[in-house]
A and B are shown apart, each in its own frame.
Chain A
Amino acid sequence: MSLIEDYAAVAGEEIIERLRQLAREFEGRTVVHVNSTRTGGGVAEILAKLVPLSRELGIDARWEVIAGEGAFYECTKAMHNALQGSPVDIPPRLWQAYENTNAANADALRERLEEADFVIIHDPQPALLLRHCPNRKGKWIWRCHIDVSRPHRPVWRYMRPVVSAYDASVFSLAAFAHDLGHPAYVVPPSIDPLGAKNGELPDDELVAVRERFGLDPERRLIAQISRFDRFKDPVGVIQAYRLTRRFAPGLQLVLAGGGAADDPEGAAVLEDVRAAAGDDADIHVLELPPNDDRTVNALQRLADIVLQKSTREGFGLTVTEAMWKGRPVIGGDTGGIRLQIFDHRTGFRVSTPEGAALRLRYLFHHRELAATMGVTAREYVRNRFLITRQLREYLTLQLALLHDARERIEIG
């Protein structure tokens, strides 16, 4: 089966037909995506599927990756944190590395980028390429995947004129958008339903994961699978578990996350979580290796209810992932979680550990309703948060730019 048939089977033939119709408008045009890594991270994960899918639809889509040295990545990591609001100042030495790396990559990519009809630059790392392509003929779009609603001002003062020079920008939520003097599109992120993290898993793999972590199949299981980060409130999840366990004896909790080893703050949070868990054998604190997507997938499927009790959140793709697996989700009432969880429909939004405990008890008491919510959650994700929708929106906004961003465009 072709990739496009695989997606049609999951997303629906109607969605694919719409994509085919949009794609016809791109005959003879080239689209180039540029980011800073081929593997690892959500952007690479999406591009790895988005580009082949575009090509199967007949679009001449390409994916270029810029390369840099240590100082460049040091700079872009600091930029990433600063643009998300951390008061990080970047020394001139690192800015220089950022500029030099973009200039060097522009030398290698210039011809392809200047000839392309659309260039989509992902995140701040390659954003300076535009300055080095003075003879560009196509539309350049800056795709911002991070929450830049409250950026650290000195860094934003540097980046703002850089990204304002683009023909358009794309943000994941309206709340993240800035007035940059050009169209600012809102395109929520998406999941790949066929990837390791969200594809179907065989039963024996689920059993193996359950046995690996000593989970009892006869007892209820709740899980939060997310980075060990204070904004994800893992200690609050333990409090909710304890409040619930009095009414759900034998309840098991999995708190799984990755990346704490190379993140000093993550390590501190993990330590707090382990301290809060104490010697409770039914709290399983799991530090997963990076990109252990199949284990994440399995744990989400093994859980009866998934939590994402964030106190601050960008979009919250972990919520989307759990919903896709047909699980009701209890999530913090914040950020993009509000676009996904609707009380009594796909789960519950909560503000406190007490609220989470109340909703856990409710869902354990109303098993059939919980199952219905899971079904609804999966359908909601199918309609709104799959990669096919994201591709449709990318194609739509590119078409709109071709038509001078007019409000109404008629094709076909």
Chain B
Amino acid sequence: MAVGAAPSSDPPFVIRDCTLIMLATGVRAYTLGELMAGVRTVSADSIYYHFWGTLLQGSFEEREYNNDLAHWVRHSLHFHPLAEQLAVLDPSDYADLEALRVDLFDLMDASLYGSERLTWVRSAEPFEFLRHQIVVFDTGHRIEGPADMAEVVPHLSESSVFYHFVDARRRQADGRDDFRVWLDGVPGDHTALCNRLAGIDPYFGHLHEVRTAIAAAFAAHAGVPAP
């Protein structure tokens, strides 16, 4: 690979990794009313956790919804319309999690107003509001250009993929992943690569699948076979 000829970024892409630890908040909900009370009072990192954090936990259950709240409304309260509405919410559309919290609450409130059943239906299993703390490591690896990235991505840990592709959406001001933000500073036209990265939906697959898709995008950009 003609890595030497590739355009270099300034600064280079810093490969980080992370580990996440889960905390109980002690807030539980058995009814939609209790779920609303929880959404209103838990810390913003709890909202974050229930949208993003579980991606790193890994599970065999198919992610039919992109957040735990929608999943619980569907499978524990058995109320599909609200589950679908909650699942449409994308945290990266919001300036901050407080704005997302308001929309979550409003959607639930509207459903509660519109359905007599939701005022009394009680789940056998509670929704446990969790939150998390994240420890971020600098791995010491630096990437100078997109061609190098095509080589490196297949070897990233899943938690590194989580940090750069999922967690980034909360850290970056415009809700993008770290790769696209970094490409802004790399000489050359990366529009097609950025569009392809933007088209990778991290919510419904496993992180190793996301890694494969990112690697394929960089490989295509570098004109090398996908890993």
Contact = CB atoms under 8 A, between A and B. Distances in A.
Interface of A: 14, 18, 21-22, 171, 174-175, 177-179, 183-187, 342, 345-346, 376, 380, 383-384, 392-393, 396-397, 399-400, 405-412
A18 B23 CA distance: 21
B130 interface: yes
B130 A411 contact: no
Contact of A174 (B60, B130, B133, B135): B130
A409 B133 contact: yes
Interface residues of B, number: 28
B46 to A, nearest CB: 10
19 contacts: A18-B17, A18-B137, A22-B135, A174-B130, A177-B24, A185-B23, A186-B23, A186-B130, A342-B61, A380-B60, A383-B58, A393-B19, A396-B133, A400-B135, A406-B133, A409-B134, A410-B138, A411-B136, A411-B138
B21 interface: yes
B123 interface: no
Nearest to A396: B21
B23 A412 contact: no
Nearest 3 pairs between A and B by C-beta? A179-B26, A177-B24, A342-B60
Contacts of B132: 407
A396 B58 contact: no
B45 interface: yes
Interface in B43-65: 45, 58-61
A384 B128 CA distance: 20
Interface in B138-165: 138-140, 157
Given A18-B137, A179-B26, A393-B19, 12 more contacts: A22-B19, A185-B22, A185-B24, A396-B19, A396-B20, A396-B21, A396-B135, A407-B133, A408-B133, A410-B135, A410-B136, A410-B138
B24 A411 contact: no
A361 B81 CA distance: 37
Given A174-B22, A396-B19, A407 B45 contact: yes
A411 B59 contact: no
A186 B54 CA distance: 13
A47 B30 CA distance: 37
A84 to B, nearest CB: 18
Given A14-B157, A380-B60, A409 B24 contact: no
Contacts of B136: 408-411
Max chain B CB contacts within 10 Å: which of A380, A392, A412? A412
Contact of B138 (A184, A345, A392, A412): A412
B137 A171 contact: no
Nearest to B126: A175
A393 B60 contact: no
Nearest to B59: A342
A399 B135 contact: yes
A274 B23 CA distance: 43
A345 B59 CA distance: 10
A160 to B, nearest CB: 13
B179 to A, nearest CB: 19
A334 B53 CA distance: 23
A187 B130 CA distance: 12
B133 A400 contact: yes
Given A400-B135, A409-B133, A174 B24 contact: yes
Contact of A411 (B23, B60, B137, B140): B137
A176 B180 CA distance: 41
B12 to A, nearest CB: 16
A407 B21 contact: no
Contacts of A407: 45, 131-134
A393 B56 CA distance: 14
Given A175-B128, A342-B60, A393-B21, A184 B26 contact: yes
Contacts of B22: 174, 185-187
Contacts of A408: 133-134, 136
B155 to A, nearest CB: 10
Nearest to B49: A407
B133 A411 contact: no
Contacts of A187: 21-22
Contacts of B133: 396-397, 400, 405-409
A184 B23 contact: yes
A184 to B, nearest CB: 4
Nearest to B171: A408
Contacts of B126: 175
A409 B133 CA distance: 8
Contacts of B128: 174-175
Nearest to B43: A407
Max chain A CB contacts within 10 Å: which of B22, B130, B131? B22
A199 to B, nearest CB: 25
A178 B74 CA distance: 27
Max chain A CB contacts within 10 Å: which of B22, B133, B134? B133
Contacts of A396: 19-21, 133, 135
Given A408-B133, A411-B135, A411-B136, A345 B60 contact: yes
